[in-house]
Structure 1
Amino acid sequence: MMGPVLAACLLIILSTAWISQANGATCKKDGGVCTCNDQTKNVDCSSKGLTAIPSNIPTDTDRLELDLNKLSSLPSKAFQSFTKLTFLSLNNNQLQTLPAGVFDQLVELDRLQLGGNQLKSLPRGIFDKLTKLTFLQLTENKLQSLPHGVFDEPTELKTLTLSTNQLKRVPEGAFDKLQNIKDLRLNDNPWDCSCRDILYLSNWIREKKGTVSNIEAAECDGGTKAVLEITEEEAAEDCVYPNTTTAIPTTIITTLASSNDDDIPELPVPQENFQKFLGYQEPDHLPTQPQCLMSISGYLGLMMFFVLISAAILYVIHFLKKA
């Protein structure tokens, strides 16, 4: 009767090996796309030349690093499974926009790094669900404006970096809810000190001087004067700035108005089944070569697993019949 026992042991060994392979399909320590640490739940996908977020990153990941890649956009559901994340870094990519709600499931997030990208604006409410956030980095982007209330919900913020952007003003009351802020970096922005809109920021800096670090480094465009020194007489103009988050270019409006049905190009149907076979997240992005190779190898491993399972079952049945 040793035959069935050996076959059962073989089944257990094969199942364990396959589950381990499935869990590490993308996160391997031996040359995969990302490096994973099972004990600390850290996943490092930095400096991999990625144009899309790898699939099959463990959902219980605590720390996810995607720095120094070539990400130019994010699917709206890119992080919906990572509800345990406390650290997310997307520094030094090529992000131009953020989809609304992309961070909504990250309710445990403590630190978010978006520096060194090409963000020109932020969607309204983009940080509203991040109520545990204490560190937010937006340094070295191309932000031209901030939406009203953008920092109203992450009230636990202690560090906020907005330096090296293209900000001329902030909305009235932009920082009023940040009761725990200790470090706010506003330097290297072209603050427009000729408009009345700058008075809120100027007064806020004077009020928080000595209690919030780095705010006094904010200077008027051209570096002629510090923002906190601006008076009402100097900021006398009622300036109006375009709403960069909702404005539609007039060229697009004109084109749409003059178009007819014959001019509208036929859009290709997304090859969803093909991309699902490759194990990728969104039908509007093609997977990278390493992802293709890993997905295909994963399916081959799965097929081999079922073949071996079938053989083991037949082996058990054969011995049972003899018994």
Structure 2
Amino acid sequence: MMGPVLAACLLIILSTAWISQANEALCKKDGGVCSCNNNKNSVDCSSKRLTAIPSNIPADTKKLVLNYNKLRELEPTAFHRLTKLRLLYLNDNQLKSLPEGVFDKLTKLTRLDLDYNQLKRVPDGVFDKLTNLKELWLQNNQLQSLPKGVFDKLTSLKELSLSNNQLKSVPEEAFDSLVQISEVQLYDNPWDCSCRDILYLRNWIREKQGNVSNIEAAECAVDNKAVLDITEKDAASDCVSPNTTTAIPTSTTTPASVIYDDIHEIKVPQENFQKFLGYQEPDHLPTQPQCLMSISGYLGLMMSLMLTSAAILYVFHFLKKA
């Protein structure tokens, strides 16, 4: 009766080996879900329709490209293993929020791209550990406000983009710690020049004019007057909440499209399996790039399947004889 036991053990070993090989296929220079340049410690996972960040990205990665995917949320520990990361590209996704502490281990990061997402706010202190950051891109989101002190620790920052958001003002002293800053993009925001809160931004622009590029492009929402040119009389109102809209909703009925979206985002039991393969939706077939593997990986997979089949037949053979 030892034959079937040995065959069963062989089956388990082969299955484990197949899973391990599939994991390694994520990041091979000649194929897999992501492309790797081992010489430059670079991993490119762009345009793979990923709904979650692959869990087996090499720990020594210095450049990680995740743009043009379907990421809607990040796990709080998504990047905690990647302590050597210097460049992180998360632009052109569907991120609606950032978990607290998600970037805390990335102390060597010099560039962070979060543009072209759907962020409405950023948590307090989310950038505090990024003391070596030189470029921060937040344009083309839906930011309605910034927490006080959000940039206080970014003393090495040189470029900051906040354009194409919904900002009406920035907190007092928001940019005071940016001693190395050379460019700040502020245009295409609905700056509320009727509130006293805007005077900090006006004064900062006047002080830095000529030394920090693009700041003069900030314009008031009402009359397109440059924030640089507003007067104390213009900003006479003591607004209670300058970053919230005063518009009264015309209807309390929830649109059918919103209901559909909520239902559509309900997680299903196959979620982890989908995350590993990079599927977009449960009923969405994987695209060709997602299913491609290297030739060596394919041959190894076929060999594993053949050995697994042989082991199964071996088990049945002994059980029949028994």
TM-score calculated relative to the size of structure 2: 0.72
What is the deviation of 1:215? 0.3
How many angstroms apart in 1 are the aligned matches of 2:83 and 2:268?
Answer: 29
Q: Which residue of 1 aligns with 2:58?
A: 58
**When the two structures are aligned, how many residues end up with a matched partner?**
261
After TM superposition, give the deviation of residue 54 of structure 1 in Å: 1.6
Q: How does 1:15-34 map to 2 (within 5 A)?
A: 21=21, 24-34=24-34
SS in 2 for 1:36: strand
Counterpart for residue 132 of structure 2:
132
* 8 Å CA contact 1:163, 1:189 repeated in 2: yes
Deviation at 1:234, TM superposition (A): 1.1
2:54 paired with 1:67: no
Q: Deviations over 1:204-227 (max 9, x none)?
A: 000000000000000000453100
Partner SS, residue 163 of structure 2: coil
CA distance in 2: counterparts of 1:68 and 1:112, whole angstroms: 15
CA RMSD in angstroms, aligned pairs only:
3.4
Instruction: Spell out, residue by residue over 1:68-96, the C-alpha distance to the aligned partner (whole angstroms, 9 max, x if none).
Output: 11111111111010000000000110000
Q: What residue number does 1:90 align with?
A: 90
Conserved in 1, the CA contact under 8 Å of 2:32 and 2:292? no
The answer as to whether partners of 2:43 and 2:64 remain within 8 angstroms in 1 is yes
* Partner of residue 167, structure 1: 167
Give distance in 2, aligned partners of 1:32 and 1:137. Answer: 29
- Report the CA distance shift for 1:243/1:170 in structure 2 as closer, same or farther (over 3 A): closer
Aligned equivalents of 1:59 and 1:46: distance in 2?
A: 18
- Give me the whole-angstrom Cα distance separating, in 1, the residues matched to 2:61 and 2:223: 44
Write out per-residue CA displacement over residues 118-156 of structure 1, whole angstroms, 9 at most, x where no aligned residue: 000010001000000000000100000000000001110
Instruction: Please give the alpha-carbon distance, in whole angstroms, between the structure 1 residues aligned to 2:168 and 2:237.
Output: 14
Determine the structure 1 residue equivalent to 2:43.
43
Residues 76, 100 of structure 1: 8 Å contact kept: yes
CA displacement 1:31-77 (0-9 Å, x = unmatched) = 41100011001000011111111221111100000011111111111
- Cα distance between partner residues in 2 of 1:89 and 1:170: 25
- Aligned match of 2:158: 158
Equivalents in 2 of 1:25, 1:242: separation in Å? 50
Runs of 4+ in 1 over 2 A off after TM superposition: 20-25, 28-31, 268-271, 274-280, 288-294
Verify the 8 A CA contact 2:168 2:243 in the aligned structure 1.
no
Partner of 2:313: none
Structure 1 Cα separation of the partners of residues 224 and 85 of structure 2: 43
Compute the displacement of 1:275 (Å): 7.4
In structure 1, the partner of 2:213 is 213
What pairs with 1:146-295 in structure 2 (closer than 5 Å)?
Answer: 146-241=146-241
CA distance in 1, matches of 2:243, 2:221: 20
Q: Could you tell me whether the CA contact under 8 Å between 2:144 and 2:243 is conserved in 1?
A: no
Provide the C-alpha distance between the structure 2 equivalents of 1:242 and 1:229, rounded to a whole number of angstroms. 19
Query: Partners of 1:162 and 1:29 in 2: how far apart?
Result: 35
Structure 1: state its 5+ residue gaps: 1-16, 245-267, 309-323
CA distance in 2, matches of 1:237, 1:38: 57
How far 1:240 sits from its partner (Å)? 1.6
Percent identity over the alignment is 61
- Residue 39 of structure 1 aligns to a residue whose secondary structure is helix
Mind listing any 5+ residue stretches in structure 2 that lack a counterpart? 1-16, 245-265, 309-322
1:178-236 deviation digits (Å, cap 9, x = unpaired): 00000000000000000000000000000000000000000000453100111111100
The DSSP-based 3-state class of the residue aligned with 2:88 is strand
Provide the rounded CA distance (Å) in 1 between the counterparts of 2:275 and 2:165: 37
Q: Assess if the C-alpha contact under 8 Å between 2:173 and 2:200 holds in 1.
A: yes
2:160 corresponds to which letter in structure 1? Answer: L
User: Partners in 2 of 1:116 and 1:186 — Cα distance?
Assistant: 15
Residue identity in the other structure for 1:234? D
Taking a change above 3 Å as real, the CA distance of residues 92 and 217 of structure 1, as seen in their structure-2 partners, is same
Q: How much does 1:279 deviate? A: 8.9
